[in-house]
Structure 1
């Protein structure tokens, strides 16, 4: 039986380069639309902060670069309305938020390192994003937002990104870090598309030239439910959660045993201040740890990775000190501002020096914070 003329026309259309290009564009638009609650609405910008790595030579070592990043990057769109709509999936009585601008804004404003906290959705089939028990979106998946990063890198081939992926242990009622989740994550990060966009170098950082247009995986998860071959095939740097000490201002974590490569990390996320300490005291304690680590990065171990987390909270305090207050202060109650404001003069003193990767809450406040960072 011969095919009908309409069927033949459809086959011809599907096989034509023009139609295939249109279909690919439509499919990408659909994925980017699904990613919007986490990634934001895609906007292409060029020049200035969107392409700040252009000024560096290809042979620049990544461990010698200054990389601004954001902590709990996906929380920017989380609100009380989001929390209320998810009652029954995640039982919360507080709002988790550490950012206020979308990922596309972060990218175009110079941010190059992202902290992503993932787990299965409540059906245990799709990888989505959380902060503690806060489910940040039921729509945007890890696959969706990765395509957002891929698209952005295609538009900005001079740049490179760092993605810190961490399993979020206190998640939805029925989520678990079992073999199914780990296999799903492995398949996503080693798919043919991902292999084109993730730097395939393992357990060490190379040059900017090797990493332009690509992503370095900062793997804060184990694949302990899978065969050892899965771990062997995973690219990037491995920071096992079993070795990342909790709430520590001075972590030394070896990520390459053969070459004895060690990362020096400050992750003092909850100051151990006396009970009832006010916000100013909590901010001061966190600022001290962060500033000391930034200065240490400029003076010690020049060929080692330094990774500083300027983010913090102290919700155990009475009254609680939320991430926003710690980062940018609370008006007249904290006259010197938060950690971010206090770090600006510290950064001004480090011109020409390496400070490494620094992760911020509310990175856009004050407005000159990232400007100072990128001018080092």
Structure 2
């Protein structure tokens, strides 16, 4: 095993798979796990940080029958989940380490889409995480980016995976969907080449990890199949995916099939032999409004796309298909700029009297209580505070 892989394997064995022997080996494994979690903290966070009163939905999946299809339940999600800890201070500190592709980085507020960590989100009921990855500036490890913004020089993809797996070890009735997208526009001449693909495969497989990752392919599983495991949503293509069952398990939603910025949503066939289809809305920038549009018009455009997709999700057709609705968006090039926080939360003045998308979602979700919506992916999921509960169909 290369480098610290043996320590990560021991950590997984002791704390997650519970196979390490007692005594010194177990102590070493626990120490190794703590190191991994510490290394990943800038992206994964610390799930001990959540207040006990905020953990009403920490184990909400455990109460559902094993036979429940993941596509039959409402799953709260977070868009660009790794950005929660990204500030202007972070950007300034990493200026000379980032070495992006020649473009000038925007202010940090353009890249930040959350303010609570992955760990806190897990404790608060979020079960789908949108994550963007690429090689670090030296090409040695996989780390988290949002476009040209490097989220952390310390936390690796593998560190964060072990954080999620460790959380699942404590909450074995739950399932976590991790959507990984390879980020371009990071360092000069970056590509998803063979070496980057190898690092991604190593992060997800081997060293006892097969039991931590759902091994099914090309169909929507039940909770019984996936409890205590990660379901991989692959928004990237691996060399060899066109041979047999592909290189990695999970749901393959490659970039060529992901239609860019379509306000009407789109159907993505992720298994051609069975015609298994996901229905997706990812209208992330209302650029058709022009560059001098009002903040309210941008929020309204996004809300229109979200509500239209919700109507499709609650219809009787395609009941077994996965629906994914991104409520997140921005229009950073607009004047005034509509950054993710403004789109989600408004700007706190009379300019946005009804708030942002998140505030307007409250009444929409209340009106759809008890309906199947599928995966609902949020920016700044913590505001309003009952938003996750409303996605789950709980009135608070």
TM range (shorter): over 0.9
The aligned residue for residue 3 of structure 1 is none
Distance 1:108 1:68, change over 3 A: same
1:219 deviates by 0.3
Please, which runs of 5 or more residues in structure 2 have no aligned partner? 1-19
- TM-score calculated relative to the size of structure 1: 0.92
Deviations 1:36-93, CA, capped at 9 Å, x for gaps: 0000124287862111112211111111011000000000000101111122324424
What is the aligned partner in structure 2 of residue 62 from structure 1? Answer: 70
Residue in structure 2 matching 1:50, options 55, 58, 64: 58
Contact 1:243 1:253 in 2 (8 A): yes
Q: Aligned-pair distance for 1:230? A: 8.9
Correspondence list, 1:327-342, <5 A: 327-332=344-349, 333-342=351-360
Tell me how far apart the structure 1 counterparts of residues 323 and 393 of structure 2 sit (CA, whole Å): 18
Asked if 1:36 corresponds to 2:36, the answer is: no
Unaligned runs of 5+ in 1: 1-14
Residue deviations 1:148-195 (CA, integer Å, cap 9, x gap): 011000000010000000000111235332111011112222224321
Match of 1:348 among 362, 366, 370: 366
1:367 is matched with which residue: 358, 373, 385?
A: 385
Contact 1:198 1:217 survives alignment (8 Å): yes
For residues 202-241 of structure 1, what are the structure 2 equivalents within 5 Å?
Answer: 202-224=217-239, 228-229=242-243, 232-241=246-255
Q: Which has the larger radius of gyration?
A: 1
What is the TM-score of this pair, normalised by structure 2?
A: 0.88
Structure 1: distance between partners of 2:133 and 2:21: 39
SS of the counterpart of 1:50?
coil
Q: Is the 8 A contact 2:86 2:151 kept in 1?
A: yes
Q: Secondary structure at the match of 1:217?
A: strand
Which of 179, 183, 189 aligns to 1:164? It is 179
Tell me which residue corresponds to 2:294: 278
Pairs within 5 Å for 1:1-376: 17-43=22-48, 48-88=56-96, 89-90=99-100, 91-95=104-108, 96-173=111-188, 175-224=190-239, 228-229=242-243, 232-249=246-263, 250-271=265-286, 272-299=288-315, 300-332=317-349, 333-375=351-393
- The range that moved more, 169-178 or 79-88, is 169-178
Hey, what's the Cα distance between the residues in 1 that align with 2:21 and 2:135?
38
Q: CA deviation at 1:197?
A: 1.0
